[in-house]
Structure 1
């Protein structure tokens, strides 16, 4: 899809699985052919996706069946990684699965045998879901608190508590809760997909929804609508105006911060800054803030996630009052130094030399920066 920024909210309040995500994507308008083509490109054996319209808890929903001949080929993460060589997003999802399974079973990730999560149907779920989100052109994906269920579940390792250990490991740091029914509501595949695709967690953000997809799980328990919903649309602030992006970070090497701020400014932030804070248990940390016009917010969000260790952002529209300004120049030792002149109601209220020009002129003249700054500031006073 093309156009402006696309916002997706995933309502996982009834749980999440790979097939539920596939159904929601088809229900939101992704052609089944786009998902099938992606699966065909990696599946080592024939796999067919079939759509069925069903009801879950009285709600109309879309079920996507993953159909194949019976296979007893258990694949390790090494095997799956080779299959997904040309699918980097799907490869990241399975890497999360491998690391989580390896952690809970005490084996290296490369040696994990994917039992429930590694068969062909899981490969189809992951590859198809990743292709579906790409088709929708998602620039941000917010995931609700995830219902994980309660009780016990039968697995290849025997009876396990819900959430199963791999799901609990995958959802570390993510808002979760038991949910309404004593059954497994979130599968390892669903957890890995959500945590890989999410750019934020929380309730539905401010957005103008144009499409809703409702994906069905395989079971239809009484009193529980076993569905996952996708809300697709545009951010409500997409008509313009600045927004403030913020996150708290307590585990980043402080030497990296200047490069982070430079990257945000390069991505389009009007301003970016750090505020020292003290978090729970006395942990020192920083709040990273970025002020950005809505049109450039997507790029700045991506830069924050790429450059820092945060897994979530706060965002709010703000009102900004800016003075009219223009640039003029003064000459110090034959070097041009730009001066920013600001006016309020037509009257000059500020005139300041640009520091980068001052530093460059000082280096070329072999003079202290403080001296060149003082001279440029004195020359700038004539504009006031």
Structure 2
């Protein structure tokens, strides 16, 4: 299962996250109970959950009315968070909430040039912010999303200016920008605050990875959380739950043009790069400038092996430059090695590399070294060994009971 948060049209706020999670099945009554219980330590709130429409789209709105705006220094604020006691609030929720507020505090400290101990929580330390963080935490954990891969699409920030405890400030707020440092963001589509510090801090603590587009998934369910305002665009946050039959991993792709190496050196390069951890190495004949014949070397690497492989390419080829395509997403089938007994002038135990999609075998190939060993021992051509072995494996699969 995968989860995708979609704040690319209307941004993100704490109550929008809660509304979307309720839309995915979090219990609204228990969410309200947790929000009001946590906020009671900070002056109290009144929470109402309702169905609304934003630009014609039905969504869940979580309205939070605060009773007061207390001012706490960060250490005192954390002490009050730790003191929260309620049957529905467990240690995981406390720890998660602390992390969210720590994210906010770090941003505020950097912006104002102060230490964490000297930071005062104003709006973000108010009872409604505490309610939002604990309500989102309860809904998140109650749905089991902490055990899933969570993605986020780019965040819409809004624009213009607004009034805060520090006076008139630009939108997005400085804290919001600091919290979302490194995440893909965009301005607009309205002159209003769309991404709040609390919403941004919840997002970065829930999300494993930001993406420009939806990852490959089969959509199972969508929850819609509404913002307070009803402008001329859908002021909603979507959270999408999907199933994933195909796995993805991140790789780095290196390539360089070679026009000065002999076939022997290029052949040896294969073994060297595989020894450094390369996942794949290919060499393609090409025609270079001034009609010089050459080769295109392409190497696929895991992220953790990229520096060693890069150094090896430079050292072995003497090339002056290498093109790198970092963090390419590669979709892969589920793969495993299966031991199998073949009968080719005797019985041999070999390994088959098997790839599956939705529990159906898509590809099954005998390991090259095993096939080569049988060919060497029996004198049967390698291509014939591979053909016989793979036919026997297919007969075995087709003969298995459902």
Into which bin does the TM-score normalised by the smaller protein fall?
Answer: 0.5 to 0.7
Please give the secondary structure, in 2, of the residue aligned with 1:225: coil
Rounded Cα–Cα distance in structure 2 between residues aligned with 1:176 and 1:208: 25
- Aligned pair in 2 of structure 1 residues 233, 72: CA closer, same or farther (>3 Å)? same
CA contact (8 A) 1:48 1:67 kept: yes
Specify which of 70, 73, 80 is matched with residue 70 of structure 2: 73
Deviations 1:292-350 (A, max 9, x none): xxxxxxxxxxxxxxxxxxxxx94522475857468xxxxxxxxxxxxx95479999963
Alignment of 1:209-358 (within 5 A): 209-221=219-231, 223-237=232-246, 243-246=247-250, 274-276=305-307, 314=329, 316-318=331-333, 324=339, 342=351, 350=369
- Match of 2:56? 58
Alignment of 1:189 with 2:220, yes or no, is no
CA contact (8 A) 1:343 1:349 kept: no
- Match of 1:137? 144
Rounded Cα–Cα distance in structure 1 between residues aligned with 2:191 and 2:153: 20
TM-score by length of 2: 0.62
- Match of 1:108? 115
CA contact (8 A) 1:21 1:129 kept: yes
Note the C-alpha offset of 1:186.
0.4
- Aligned pair in 2 of structure 1 residues 324, 112: CA closer, same or farther (>3 Å)? same
Rounded Cα–Cα distance in structure 2 between residues aligned with 1:101 and 1:36: 28
CA contact (8 A) 2:5 2:237 kept: yes
- Aligned pair in 2 of structure 1 residues 33, 343: CA closer, same or farther (>3 Å)? closer
Please give the secondary structure, in 2, of the residue aligned with 1:42: helix
- Aligned pair in 2 of structure 1 residues 343, 65: CA closer, same or farther (>3 Å)? closer
Note the C-alpha offset of 1:29.
1.6
Specify which of 17, 20, 29 is matched with residue 21 of structure 1: 17
- Aligned pair in 2 of structure 1 residues 286, 80: CA closer, same or farther (>3 Å)? farther
Alignment of 1:35 with 2:31, yes or no, is yes
- Aligned pair in 2 of structure 1 residues 167, 283: CA closer, same or farther (>3 Å)? farther
- Aligned pair in 2 of structure 1 residues 145, 283: CA closer, same or farther (>3 Å)? farther
- Aligned pair in 2 of structure 1 residues 130, 181: CA closer, same or farther (>3 Å)? same
- Aligned pair in 2 of structure 1 residues 283, 140: CA closer, same or farther (>3 Å)? farther
- Aligned pair in 2 of structure 1 residues 114, 341: CA closer, same or farther (>3 Å)? same
Q: Which 5+ residue runs of structure 1 have no aligned equivalent? A: 1-5, 238-242, 249-260, 262-270, 289-312, 327-339, 352-380
CA contact (8 A) 1:274 1:286 kept: no
Deviations 1:25-66 (A, max 9, x none): 112221113323433553314434211211212221111012
Give the paired residue count: 285
Rounded Cα–Cα distance in structure 1 between residues aligned with 2:113 and 2:322: 30
Alignment of 1:128 with 2:135, yes or no, is yes
- Match of 2:2? 7
- Aligned pair in 2 of structure 1 residues 207, 158: CA closer, same or farther (>3 Å)? same
Rounded Cα–Cα distance in structure 1 between residues aligned with 2:186 and 2:24: 26
Q: Which 5+ residue runs of structure 2 have no aligned equivalent? A: 83-90, 253-276, 278-301, 311-320, 342-348, 354-363, 371-375, 380-402
Deviations 1:242-264 (A, max 9, x none): x341267xxxxxxxxxxxx9xxx
CA contact (8 A) 1:341 1:350 kept: no
TM-score by length of 1: 0.65
Please give the secondary structure, in 1, of the residue aligned with 2:131: helix
Please give the secondary structure, in 1, of the residue aligned with 2:229: coil
**Which piece of structure 1 moves more, 73-82 or 97-106?**
73-82
Note the C-alpha offset of 1:121.
0.4
Rounded Cα–Cα distance in structure 1 between residues aligned with 2:5 and 2:208: 11
Rounded Cα–Cα distance in structure 1 between residues aligned with 2:339 and 2:237: 49
Rounded Cα–Cα distance in structure 2 between residues aligned with 1:210 and 1:9: 11
